[in-house]
Amino acid sequence: MSFYSSFDTATVSSRSAHPDDHRTPFQIDRDRILHSAALRRLQGKTQVFYSFLVGEYDFYRTRLTHSLEVAQVGRSICAWLQKSSDLLQGSDGIDTDLVEATCLAHDLGHPPFGHTGERALHHLMMPYGGFEGNAQTLRLLTRTIFGEGREGMDPTRALLDGVMKYKTLYQEVPDAKNHYLYDEQSEALDFVHGDQPFPVELSPGKERNSFRSLECQIMDWADDTAYSINDLSDAIQRGFITASKLEAWAGASKLDDVEAGQVEFLLKAIREGKVEGRLGRGIGEHIRACSLEIRGNFMSELSRRYRYELVVDPAMEKRARLNKRIAMDLVFETPQLHQLDYKAESVLKRLFEVLEERYIKRDGSRAWHFLPQTVEVALDREDDEKVRARLVCDWIASLTDRNAYRVHQRLFDVGAGMGEFL
């Protein structure tokens, strides 16, 4: 019995393929993402530590290495569920190529400078429809991933649904800081659900955003697994989290017996110099904490992707939350990171303001050429101010950390960039 139907493999338009192509639709999805410049650019984008400041510590994770790890965990979850769940026996199971593609794509839309960059762009784009990393991923897949021609990759319905963590439009939650889709993505939202309207109980916001396909749930837990284990390992290796700092943090925190035991485990790993190996074993535990349950909803008759729900052992979810809490308090809330966050926010703000005046508002007496010709051509033929803003935002979001910093230097540092023209 096939787990997927033509409903799941359908694309918005008839996707062209070589008549002798040996690949499945989901393998084509994965391959197009894997060979895209958008994926390669993640190598230069911040995961936890700013990629252009890593220096000698170049073994720390970037958005690209994080995405590769998420993809591996996602595939392993599929294999575990196929082996362990009675619900999948007799079927060919959850497609690992689809899950891998979803995991590889999940961070494609993230801008330079990590979540700081995302918050900064959201604030700057509020008059024009906001900025959200997940919505930007969707925009890449459907509109811009292949660059100059502003072309999307015409993904399958299942892939599009797999990366769609949030299903509320910006206009429905105007005060939201994140977790929304752009208003112009309503057609993609309708497409993934086969034009089925949301039932009343799935109101905009948290309820609707939590309604996800099985592959999306797998990707999200794989992301949480990689984030809560591997990023914590990086923070320890970098020295942001030491045994003394962790002990002091635990002493000032209200921890139950289970949480205190997890802290002791981390302290022992730090003291014995076995952080990566000890934490790495937790990945398997996170995978084996997964199981499936039957669910019923307005989509479950259309696709098996909505007949099953991923269930994660609450104890494992609690462990992941504790790891995230440690990282937030001992890494992200430190003066060192806040100083870099302030710098990153300032870089994006000044870049946006210059481009806003020139291309969005079209103020000024001189037509400065700040952007690549293909982007300028698209901007020049657009009369809609919001569309122009989205195109400018696309370009900024596509930059790596280093590229954003260098453009900022050329524009505002008197001595920077002159050697490029001598």
pLDDT (average), residues 21-30:
94
What is the pLDDT, as a whole number, of residue 56? 46
What is the pLDDT, as a whole number, of residue 50? 59
Instruction: Write down the residue that tokens 């462990």 correspond to.
Output: 319
- Summary mean pLDDT of the chain: 92
Which pLDDT tens digit goes with each residue over 217-276? 999 999 999 999 988 888 898 888 999 999 999 999 999 999 999 999 999 999 999 998
Per-residue pLDDT band at 332 (split at 50, 70, 90): confident
**Where is pLDDT greater, at 418 or 296?**
296
Quote the CA–CA distance of 97 and 92 in Å, as a whole number: 13
> Encoding tokens for residue 394?
């696309």
* Amino acid in the structure at residue 69: E
Per-residue pLDDT band at 174 (split at 50, 70, 90): confident
Per-residue pLDDT band at 422 (split at 50, 70, 90): very low
What is the pLDDT, as a whole number, of residue 351? 98
What is the pLDDT, as a whole number, of residue 183? 97
Query: What region, left, alpha or beta, does residue 90 occupy, with left being phi > 0 and alpha being psi -120 to 50 degrees?
Result: left
Which pLDDT tens digit goes with each residue over 350-400? 999 999 999 999 987 688 999 999 999 999 999 999 999 999 999 999 999
Per-residue pLDDT band at 107 (split at 50, 70, 90): very high
Domains (ranges, CATH) in the chain?
Answer: 6-209 (1.10.3210.10), 214-335 (no CATH), 342-421 (no CATH)
pLDDT (average), residues 272-287:
93
Which pLDDT tens digit goes with each residue over 41-75? 999 998 766 555 545 455 678 899 999 999 999 99
What is the pLDDT, as a whole number, of residue 51? 56
Per-residue pLDDT band at 163 (split at 50, 70, 90): very high
Q: Is 157 exposed, middle or buried (0-12, 13-18, 19+ CB in 10 A)?
A: buried
pTM over 0.85: yes
Which pLDDT tens digit goes with each residue over 4-18? 999 999 998 877 667
Which pLDDT tens digit goes with each residue over 177-220? 999 999 999 999 999 999 999 999 999 999 999 999 999 999 99
> Encoding tokens for residue 346?
């300032």
Per-residue pLDDT band at 333 (split at 50, 70, 90): confident
Per-residue pLDDT band at 1 (split at 50, 70, 90): low
